[in-house]
Amino acid sequence: MIRFDNVSKVYARGAKPALDDVSVEIERGDFVFLVGSSGSGKSTFLKLILREERPTTGDVYVAGRHLNRLSSWRVPQLRREIGAVFQDFRLLPNKTVYQNVAFALQVIGKKRHVINSAVPEILDLVGLGGKEKRLPHELSGGEQQRVAIARAFVNHPPILLCDEPTGNLDPGTSIGIMRLLDRINRTGTTVLMATHDDDIVDQMRKRVIELRGGEMVRDQDRGVYGMERV
Amino acid sequence: MRLRFILAEVLNGLRRNSTMALSVVLVTFVSLTFVGAAALFQLQLGELKASWYGKVEVTIGLCPDNARSTQCAAGPVTEDQEQQIRTLLEEGAVSNLVKKVYFETKEEAFENYKKLDIQGIADLLTADQMQPSFRVKLNDPEQFQVVSDAVAGLPGVDYVQDQREIFSQLFKLLNAATLVAAALAGVMLLAAGLLITTTIRLSALSRRRETTIMRMVGSSRTLIQAPFMLEGAVAATLGALFAVGTLYAAVRYVVGDWLKSSVSWVPYVSQADVMAVAPYLVGIAVALAAAASVMTLGKYTRA
């Protein structure tokens, strides 16, 4: 589903590479944690998948596309196959829960009747049934992140990227979010989650890819957060 | 769905950014009024030239009885000399440029002068003090110099005068006025362009959240950028339409009603001329907005 072949990314000429010769393959339906300290290359890794950046060398394949050769007008098609969730939720403050989720479908030109059936369904899935008319500021952090997940997944993309989705949430709420992501993963969706949250990684026992200084130092099935604790 | 989305976004953006949108409307309005006024002025000059140059003639003044100029040192023009000049004009080298030749005797000149005389000076004059002349109408008034060169210096010719000279100063002045208006319009258009750029930029920045999400979920770049482009275009077009309306009203009421009744012997530009200029004004507005979009949007809503 996602494959990196000897991928390096150098932002400024002569600078230390943000990613250094990374090769990795993530299969359809995998649940993968991407761990590492700040500046280890996690964000660059996600940006390369979303084709917000291009690799300096090496090849990136996502959802059957060779991203090096993907022309820019086909990028939107790629992004429709990738849901993205962020630490800061990125909801539209003046739109209701329902409108926030519907917006994602409107702007890719979905028909009204499709939207009318898809949005309530996904809101039920993330556990927000009955809160359609709330505005984001009337929701808790965990609920806001559920809205963001609903928006990312309403189009049922085969890949879900999560960038520190629990970074702003307390541990109890985080567990709820992780259950939701796990549920989504069980529908066959590939989930790639960049995180600092060692408790969650240790509990979930999923595949762990660790980056350090741009290099991939670990790729472990059913791993835990810190190597020293293995 | 998409069309409705774009239109809703455009309205939304215009409302949210209403002061900026209004200033774009006003600046394009004023600058395009200048552009349109300059264009109409040029059209008016064209009308004047066409009508006046059709009437003007070349006057070949012949030596009168008591001439003082050196050309006439040999005394008044003789009938032979008169005939020679006429032959040159009607059958000679320049005859193909000449449309018609009138001869005005000194008696006729005196009669004509009396008609125009307001102060009663004519009573003090006699026909003998007047100057006989040829009045020559040319096929193309611009060819004056050729005819003048051929005739000037012939015996019996006092002077050759192009009546266009009387107008040419006026036309030079009017042309200069047009140039000033056009230059002002240019500066205003530049200001309008920069203002549209700023407006689009502000609009894009204020909706960054939306555009980021749109990019993320995979909307096409057209859908992301169209609302901003249209916002600029709508505001600029509105300004252009105001300019057209102003010019239309000005031509209709100022030129059509007032000028025409006070100075009726001059042909004027009409509302039809305004409508002919209008598409260009709207075109300039749209081009301006498009240029501003291209300069701005790449940076603020990149894919």
Residues B113 and B189 in one domain: no
Residue B221 and residue A73: Cβ atoms within 8 Å? yes
What is the per-residue pLDDT for A230?
42
- How do the pLDDT tens digits run along chain A, 230 residues long? 999 999 999 998 878 889 999 999 999 999 999 999 888 999 999 999 999 999 999 999 999 999 999 998 899 999 999 999 999 999 999 999 999 999 999 888 889 999 999 999 999 999 998 999 999 999 999 999 999 999 999 999 999 999 999 998 999 999 999 999 999 999 999 999 999 888 899 988 999 999 999 999 999 888 887 765 44
Q: What is the percent of chain B with per-residue pLDDT over 70, rounded to a whole number?
A: 96
**Contact by Cβ (8 Å): A78, A100:** no
When CB atoms are compared, the residue of A90, A93, A108 closest to B218 is: A108
Quick check: A76 contacting B, CB < 8 Å?
Answer: yes
Residues B291 and B183 in one domain: yes
- Please provide the DSSP assignment of chain B as one string: -HHHHHHHHHHHHHHHTHHHHHHHHHHHHHHHHHHHHHHHHHHHHHHHHHHHHHH--EEEEEP-TT--SGGGTT-SPPHHHHHHHHHHHHHSTTTTTEEEEEEE-HHHHHHHHHHH--SSGGGG--GGGS--EEEEEESSGGGHHHHHHHHTTSTTEEEEEETHHHHHHHHHHHHHHHHHHHHHHHHHHHHHHHHHHHHHHHHHHHTHHHHHHHHHHT--HHHHHHHHHHHHHHHHHHHHHHHHHHHHHIIIIIIIIIIHHHSTTS----HHHHHHHHHHHHHHHHHHHHHHHHHHHHHHS--
How far away is chain A from the Cα of B183, in angstroms, using its nearest Cα? 41
What is the per-residue pLDDT for B303?
47
**Cβ-based neighbours of A64, under 8 Å, separated by 6 or more:** none
Reported as a pLDDT band with limits 50, 70 and 90, residue B302 is low
When divided into structural domains, chain B yields a total of 2
Mean pLDDT of B150-168: 79
Instruction: Show which of B110, B128, B162 is a domain's final residue.
Output: B162
A 55-74 → B contacts, CB under 8 A: 72-73
Residues B203 and B292 in one domain: yes
- Check residues B64 and A210 and name the one with the higher pLDDT: A210
**Contact by Cβ (8 Å): B232, B293:** yes
ipTM of the complex model: 0.87
When CB atoms are compared, the residue of A76, A84, A112 closest to B1 is: A112
The 10s digit of each residue's pLDDT in B230-279 is: 888 999 999 999 999 999 999 888 888 888 777 777 778 888 889 999 99
Q: Which residue has the tokens 């005859």?
A: B95
Residues B174 and B283 in one domain: yes
Residues B123 and B245 in one domain: no
Quick check: B218 contacting A, CB < 8 Å?
Answer: yes
Residue A151 and residue B218: Cβ atoms within 8 Å? no
What is the per-residue pLDDT for A114?
94
The residues pairing with A141 across neighbouring beta strands, listed in sequence order, are none
Domain positions in chain A are: 92-156
When CB atoms are compared, the residue of B1, B210, B216 closest to A109 is: B1
Q: Full-prediction pTM beyond 0.80? A: no
Strands ordered across the beta sheet of A159-163: A82-86, A159-163, A190-195, A31-35, A207-212, A215-220
Q: Which residue has the tokens 């500046």?
A: A39
Neighbouring C-alpha atoms within 13 Å toward the C-beta of A9: 28
When CB atoms are compared, the residue of B213, B215, B303 closest to A103 is: B213
Specify the CATH number for the domain of residue B142. Answer: 3.30.70.3040
Residues B143 and B40 in one domain: no
Residues B195 and B261 in one domain: yes
Residue B1 has pLDDT above 70, yes or no: no
Instruction: Show which of B115, B130, B162 is a domain's final residue.
Output: B162
Residue B32 has pLDDT above 60, yes or no: yes
What is the domain extent for residue B273?
A: 2-53+168-300
**Contact by Cβ (8 Å): B28, B241:** no
Q: Which of A87-91, B5-9, B95-99 has the highest mean pLDDT?
A: A87-91
| B73 backbone dihedrals φ, ψ, rounded to 5° | -60, -30
Disruptive mutation site among A107, A110, A112, A144 for chain B (greatest number of B CBs within 10 Å): A107
- Check residues B205 and A92 and name the one with the higher pLDDT: A92
Residue B8 has pLDDT above 90, yes or no: no
Residues B154 and B172 in one domain: no
Instruction: Show which of B114, B129, B162 is a domain's final residue.
Output: B162
Residue A76 and residue B220: Cβ atoms within 8 Å? yes
Residue B1 and residue A111: Cβ atoms within 8 Å? yes
Residues B31 and B61 in one domain: no
How far away is chain A from the Cα of B297, in angstroms, using its nearest Cα? 16
What is the per-residue pLDDT for A21?
93
Mean pLDDT of B193-219: 86
Reported as a pLDDT band with limits 50, 70 and 90, residue B144 is confident
Residue A153: in which H helix or E strand, if any?
helix A141-153
How far away is chain A from the Cα of B209, in angstroms, using its nearest Cα? 7
Residues B272 and B236 in one domain: yes
Residues B183 and B152 in one domain: no
Residue B79 has pLDDT above 60, yes or no: yes
What does the alpha-carbon distance between residue B179 and residue B28 come to, in Å, rounded to a whole number?
A: 19
Residues B279 and B224 in one domain: yes
Quick check: B1 contacting A, CB < 8 Å?
Answer: yes
